[in-house]
């Protein structure tokens, strides 16, 4: 049966809430991992996300087998990275096997655990871009509540922009 998350930490593993993600990195992977870490740390959000997944994927996942599959947390992390990085399954499997911070976010400790490309593809395909979009909406609604805003209220922000002009 597929679990939401592993019930037992791996040897040498780090609690996901304690994974150190480089705050000075300008790469996109740490940004995605920080967002996932926030989802994980706030239990009410995490519960809503996984309840949503269980209702949406009930017919696509076999619940009658005892075969252990990749848990939902790991699938969510990898699917978020795939969509956020716009990468293929080969790169995603490479990241899952070699990126240290990502492996900590997946709940791995010192024991070796390699992901086969096909296993990654088969599991990540369960979370379509539409499902990830709905999860994003859930998380944004929670963020609005945390900020004391109504769900339909507008939020204002500031950002810098950069335009690169190519001379060809």
pLDDT, one tens digit for every residue, the chain (168 residues): 345 555 555 555 678 888 999 999 999 999 999 999 989 998 889 999 999 988 887 676 665 664 456 888 999 999 999 999 999 999 999 999 999 999 999 988 777 788 999 999 998 998 988 999 999 888 888 877 777 777 677 767 676 666 666 665
In a domain, 159, yes or no: no
Q: For residue 112, give the nearest of 21, 10, 6 by alpha carbon.
A: 10
pLDDT at residue 60, as a whole number: 66
- Could you give the number of structural domains in the chain? 1
- Surface-to-core class of residue 135, CB atoms within 10 Å of its CB (0-12 exposed, 13-18 middle, 19+ buried): buried
Tokens of 152: 């339909």
In a domain, 114, yes or no: yes
In a domain, 157, yes or no: no
The domain in which residue 48 lies consists of 16-146
In a domain, 8, yes or no: no
The reply to whether the predicted model has a pTM over 0.95 is no
In a domain, 56, yes or no: yes
Helix 28-41 to helix 72-85 angle (10° resolution) is 150
In a domain, 2, yes or no: no
Q: For residue 106, give the nearest of 12, 38, 13 by alpha carbon.
A: 13
In a domain, 158, yes or no: no
Q: Measured between alpha carbons, how far is 93 from 64 in angstroms, rounded to an integer?
A: 28
């Amino acid at each position: 049966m597929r679990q939401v998350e592993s019930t037992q930490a791996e040897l040498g593993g780090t609690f996901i809430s304690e994974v150190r993600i480089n705050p000075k990195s300008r790469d996109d992977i740490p940004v995605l991992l920080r967002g996932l870490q926030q989802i994980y740390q706030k239990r009410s959000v995490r519960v809503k996300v996984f309840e949503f997944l269980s209702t949406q994927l009930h017919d696509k996942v076999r619940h009658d087998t005892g075969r252990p599959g990749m848990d939902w947390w790991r699938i969510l992390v990898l699917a978020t990275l795939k969509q956020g990085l716009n990468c293929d399954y080969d790169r995603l499997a490479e990241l899952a096997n070699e990126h240290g911070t990502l492996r900590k976010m997946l709940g791995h400790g010192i024991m070796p655990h390699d992901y086969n490309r096909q296993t990654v593809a088969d599991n990540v395909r369960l979370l379509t871009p539409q499902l990830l979009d709905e999860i994003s909406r859930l998380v944004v609604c929670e963020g609005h509540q945390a900020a004391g805003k109504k769900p339909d209220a507008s939020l204002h922000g500031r950002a810098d922009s950069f335009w690169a002009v190519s001379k060809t």
